[in-house]
Amino acid sequence: MTWTHPIRLADLARGPISLKLDADEPTRLALAKSLDLVSLPAFSCDITIKPWLDGAEIDGRLHAVVEQICGVTLDQFEQPLETRFELRVVPAGSPHTPSESEGGEIELDPEAPDPPDVLEGDIIDIAAYAQEQLALSVDPFPRKPGVTFDYTPETQEESPFAALLKLKGSEG
């Protein structure tokens, strides 16, 4: 099952586009399965797409409720997710695509904004970006709120001769 919501770059010539995406139940079931969730009771995004250079800038707010299994207690629990995301896209062949230095390596500056995604054509699949942001927001090691992992290994130190002493003690 593929959830799509295409927007053409040419549609942005008239100005920014604001939309709300709400995933229906079959879409949420398919997403929950693909993300290894127990369920996905709610998933929506408020998104604004506006022109940026020869591409687009996407500003979104994701709202979701995910049901996962706690990695400590193995209990199922629901957790709300709220996240804001921003990204930029440009068409293939744009002068604003990430540049490669000699040797085929891309220089990355951790403080700089992310480079724009390069589209295969002139279509932006807004739903695909919403799904990607959901996948990035889901905790891969879920823990039910308030649950702590308390493990203290035995601190009893045994000398190499402890096993021999136990044997000697059982003989006598």
62 beta partners: 45, 83
Please give the model's pTM, rounded to 2 decimal places: 0.79
The mean predicted confidence, pLDDT, of the chain is 88
Tens of pLDDT, residue by residue over 48-82, are 999 998 999 999 999 999 999 999 899 999 999 99
Distances (CA, A) of 58 to 18, 75, 84, 102, 124: 10, 36, 11, 30, 10
Using DSSP, state whether 148 is helix, strand or coil.
Answer: coil
Delimit the domains of the chain by residue range: 6-171
Mean pLDDT, residues 152-160 taken together: 72
